[in-house]
Amino acid sequence: MRKIKVTEKITSIAIMLFLMLCIFAQCLTNASAWGNGSGSNSTYPYYGIHDIIADIAYKTLKNYNSTYVQYITNWYMQNSSDFENSFNAGSSSPSAHDNYLAYTDDPDSSIQDWDNHLYYVHVGGSKGAPGRVAQLYNYLVSNLTWYIKNGTQKWCKEEHYAAYYAGILSHYLVDMTQYGHTDHTEKDHSHPSYDPEGTTYHDYYESANWGTQGLSAIISALNAQTYTISQISDAYNLTVNLAKWVNAHNGTTASFKDTDGSNYTLGSTYVYMLTRFVSQYDAGTTYNGMRGYDTVLWNLTVQHLRAAVENFTSVLYSAYKQALQNAGNTTTPVISNVAVSGITASGATINWTTNVASSSIVEYGTTTSYGRNATGASGVTAHSVTLSGLSASTTYHFRVKSANTAGNTATSSDYTFTTSANASDVVSLTDGVAKTGSISAAKDAKNYSLVVPAGKTQLKVELTGPSGTDFDLYAKLGAKPTTSAYDYRSIGSTSNETITVTNPSAGTWYFMVYSYSGSGTFTIKATTSTSQTNVTQLTDGVATTGSLSGTGNGKYYSITIPSGKAQLKVELTGPSGADFDLYVKLGSTPTTSTYNYSGTTSSASETISIANPAAGTWYIYVYSYSGSGNFTIKASTSTTTDSGQLSDGMAKTGSLSDTGQKAYFYITIPSGKSQFKIELTGPSGTDFDLYVKLGSTPSTSSYDYRSIGSTSTETITINSPSAGTWYIMVYSHSGSGSFTIKASTSS
């Protein structure tokens, strides 16, 4: 809870000394008032003190952690307050009438529960402000909890209600910083002799005097302040303590004789401010265009309204923190599968995944200091951020960052990519067609390019140059090569060079002819081929035997699938004690880092099931992560899915025969689902675990989500799941027996 340390002893003389010191030292220079604004003020239409305090508190917390006020941001409109019943439960998005700042005036314009705007410390009964603030705080936390649990959906009902409760809560709390709301006297509510508005000293102090000059001054003053954000534990006592501090900064009291002859013991600050305001108002004193104010009262008012901003900021902060705890959303995201795609001369796309819904941020630059950033979608597990405005043929460093709704942030290690060359100095080649060029002097170079489609098994580049010279050949994917940056090179002592690339990646390949010595005319030819000399064709449903001679060794296979198939199932059975992995890719041979599907458990037996596979040639790579020996590989297609397919909301029975055994399932989820829930129920006395991954079969070391409690009852809940095929593995950590598995989605 926020504590306000006060060192002054308020007596009539000490108060004056203290206030004079404040004035000369300019220790406090910002203030605020409690009006709701006027529609006739063209500079600040309906933008009064309540709007200002709520606005500055929101922006203060947003600057600290924007996630904590995203629900307000989604219902925020600058300069769009009003003075009427602003909240419409049926609204699906904010409007000039229905927004966060407009809500701040509703306690006066429509709710009108006047006793809840007061807390009398000494005279008039306590009144209900602390209870009202505590009630609204609980409403705010409750709606934020649901909002967080369900993926922080923009403009959902609970987000709307949370923004509303935050807006009206600010009003009741801020009212505690008007001294006239902390005790009651007839003098405060009497009419002055100069009474152009037909109202009381109370109203002239808090609202009737506040015009454009005063509002501008208070906005400037409050924006210049530094605020401390603290965790609060009790909204009721926070409100009580704030009112007591405004009523008497150091807790002292003073005697006061009211206009009706009653004698009261009141808070010393209340007595001082009321007496001084009445005196200055009757004398016609003005400050910042407001009658009754002088520098002393202005500085005291600034203190009080600064406390309003700081306390309300802490209320917003604490409510979101409490909601996060209620929602159980304290897990820091785990970043995986960072990759670069779509590299051009001026741009690239950065992709990665996280285990929980989170934001998408890329920091990038030509050094590890980065210096630039780009953002993508929030609340997602599959992240994609496009970078633009890059320089051609330039190496960029980047790292990715993701923060969940709790503000827990994960940051990746450093990665690099190189942009493509500008087309202006690159000559395009036609596949298999020789092109003539010339070099005029030693150290001169010429650049060429060829677009290689997916599925090619060989790229061959041939250079033929003049005798007596030494021309060299360099090749690089995605960017122009140099003599120090290349993927392949051929640098013999003549000008006849050849580069052969097996299973080239699809994309734009760049070639450089460089004169180490000499000049003259040359020819260059780049040819691709689809010969399958290193790929064994599989027959649908027929097992084939192969062998791997050691760690790092691999074998390629392929199967051509016609349209209309419901499933492709690839099964690998390898020797015990070895760890063989399985990779599958459509259209071209996969590698251990480039594939569509993978099976990478710690054994030599892997299975990949692909629902509704696209027609075409699928390539399969069997790779020895460790060990050697014989294996069998089988690829089977069918027009119906196997027993591993789950139906939405329908339980399926399976069994595991021993510790270490696995069972695989999958389900295809369409777009637009708000939640994906997987439930496992296994036999007592065993420990079955649950692993889930999008797009490929999971393992105990490669997964998007997992639940690994000490029993065989596990549940995984994924908010806002990505569309696609999700693969599920049930793994026996210990024991055997039958189980049921159910996957269900909701909208």
> What is the pLDDT confidence band of residue 549, given thresholds at 50, 70 and 90?
confident
> What is the pLDDT confidence band of residue 531, given thresholds at 50, 70 and 90?
low
Question: Domain containing 662 — which CATH number?
Answer: 2.60.120.380
Q: Are both 340 and 428 inside the same structural domain?
A: no
202 backbone dihedrals φ, ψ, rounded to 5°: -55, -50
Distance CA 101, CA 82 (A): 8
Question: Domain containing 347 — which CATH number?
Answer: 2.60.40.10
Burial per residue of 60-89, b for 16 or more beta-carbon CB atoms within 10 angstroms, e otherwise = bbbeebebbbbbbebbbeeebbbbeebbee
pTM: 0.47
Of 299, 326, 353, which marks where a domain is finished?
Answer: 326
What percentage of the chain exceeds 90 in pLDDT? 51
Q: Are both 404 and 517 inside the same structural domain?
A: no
Tell me which of 307-316, 498-507, 524-533 is least confident: 524-533
Q: Say what the pLDDT of residue 550 is.
A: 83
Q: What is the mean pLDDT of residues 689-702?
A: 85
Distance CA 724, CA 738 (A): 28
| CA-derived radius of gyration, the chain | 36
Residue 181 lies in a domain: yes
Q: Are both 435 and 396 inside the same structural domain?
A: no
Distance CA 143, CA 232 (A): 18
Distance CA 166, CA 171 (A): 9
Q: Are both 41 and 119 inside the same structural domain?
A: yes
Q: Mean pLDDT across the chain, nearest whole number?
A: 86
What percentage of the chain exceeds 70 in pLDDT? 92
User: Which amino acid, 285?
Assistant: T
Q: What is the mean pLDDT of residues 540-545?
A: 91
Residue 2 lies in a domain: no
Residue 594 lies in a domain: yes
Q: What's the domain count of the chain?
A: 5
- Beta-carbon count within 10 A of 575 CB: 16
Asked whether the beta carbons of 104 and 48 are under 8 A apart, the reply is: no
Residue 23 has pLDDT above 60, yes or no: no
Q: Are both 671 and 543 inside the same structural domain?
A: no
Q: Are both 457 and 586 inside the same structural domain?
A: no
Tell me which of 42-51, 65-74, 293-302, 634-643 is least confident: 634-643
Asked whether the beta carbons of 591 and 506 are under 8 A apart, the reply is: no
> What is the pLDDT confidence band of residue 297, given thresholds at 50, 70 and 90?
very high
Question: Domain containing 124 — which CATH number?
Answer: 1.10.575
User: First and final CA of the chain: distance in angstroms?
Assistant: 40
Of 551, 617, 560, which is closest to residue 589 (Cα–Cα)? 617
Q: Are both 232 and 199 inside the same structural domain?
A: yes
Q: Where are the alpha helices (DSSP H) in 284-294?
A: none
Strands 554-561, 535-537: pairing kind: parallel
Residue 713 has pLDDT above 80, yes or no: yes
Q: What is the mean pLDDT of residues 165-188?
A: 96
Give SS3 for 282.
helix
Please provide the DSSP assignment of 341-409 as one string: E---SS-EEEEEEEEEEE--EEEEESSTT--EEEE--SSEEEEEEEE-SPPTT-EEEEEEEEE-TT--E
Residue 1 lies in a domain: no
The pair of three-digit structure tokens given for residue 25, joined into one six-digit string:
């030292």
Q: What is the mean pLDDT of residues 353-369?
A: 90
Residue 592 lies in a domain: yes
User: Which amino acid, 517?
Assistant: S
Q: Say what the pLDDT of residue 81 is.
A: 61
> What is the pLDDT confidence band of residue 20, given thresholds at 50, 70 and 90?
very low
Q: Say what the pLDDT of residue 80 is.
A: 63
Q: Are both 520 and 377 inside the same structural domain?
A: no
Q: Say what the pLDDT of residue 516 is.
A: 93
Residue 669 lies in a domain: yes
Q: Are both 151 and 49 inside the same structural domain?
A: yes
Of 306, 326, 346, which marks where a domain is finished?
Answer: 326
Q: Say what the pLDDT of residue 643 is.
A: 56
Q: Say what the pLDDT of residue 406 is.
A: 67
* Angle at the Cα of 65 from the Cα atoms of 55 and 355, rounded to 5 degrees: 140
Residue 445 lies in a domain: yes
The pair of three-digit structure tokens given for residue 74, joined into one six-digit string:
């989604």
- The whole domain housing 694 covers 651-746
The pair of three-digit structure tokens given for residue 724, joined into one six-digit string:
């696609």
Residue 268 lies in a domain: yes
Q: No. of H helices and E strands in the chain? A: 12, 38
Residue 387 has pLDDT above 80, yes or no: yes
CA distances from residue 563 to 454, 537, 612 in whole angstroms, order as listed: 19, 18, 9
The pair of three-digit structure tokens given for residue 277, joined into one six-digit string:
């305001």
Tell me which of 381-385, 419-423, 697-701 is least confident: 419-423
Residue 223 has pLDDT above 70, yes or no: yes
Q: Are both 142 and 241 inside the same structural domain?
A: yes
Q: Say what the pLDDT of residue 247 is.
A: 96
Q: Are both 248 and 160 inside the same structural domain?
A: yes
* Angle at the Cα of 269 from the Cα atoms of 263 and 272, rounded to 5 degrees: 65
Strands 579-586, 616-626: pairing kind: antiparallel
Of 511 and 39, the structure prediction assigns the larger pLDDT to: 511
Q: Per residue in 92-116, pLDDT tens?
A: 899 988 999 999 999 998 999 999 9
Q: Are both 139 and 159 inside the same structural domain?
A: yes
> What is the pLDDT confidence band of residue 45, given thresholds at 50, 70 and 90?
confident
Q: What is the mean pLDDT of residues 558-582?
A: 88
Q: Per residue in 237-255, pLDDT tens?
A: 999 999 999 999 989 999 9
Residue 1 has pLDDT above 70, yes or no: no
Distance CA 94, CA 78 (A): 11
- Beta-carbon count within 10 A of 443 CB: 10
Tell me which of 77-91, 207-221, 620-634, 709-723 is least confident: 77-91
Helix %, strand %, coil % for the chain, to 5? 25, 35, 40
Of 487, 513, 529, which marks where a domain is finished?
Answer: 529
Q: Per residue in 121-159, pLDDT tens?
A: 998 878 899 999 999 999 999 999 999 887 788 999 999
Q: Per residue in 252-279, pLDDT tens?
A: 999 999 999 999 999 999 999 999 999 9
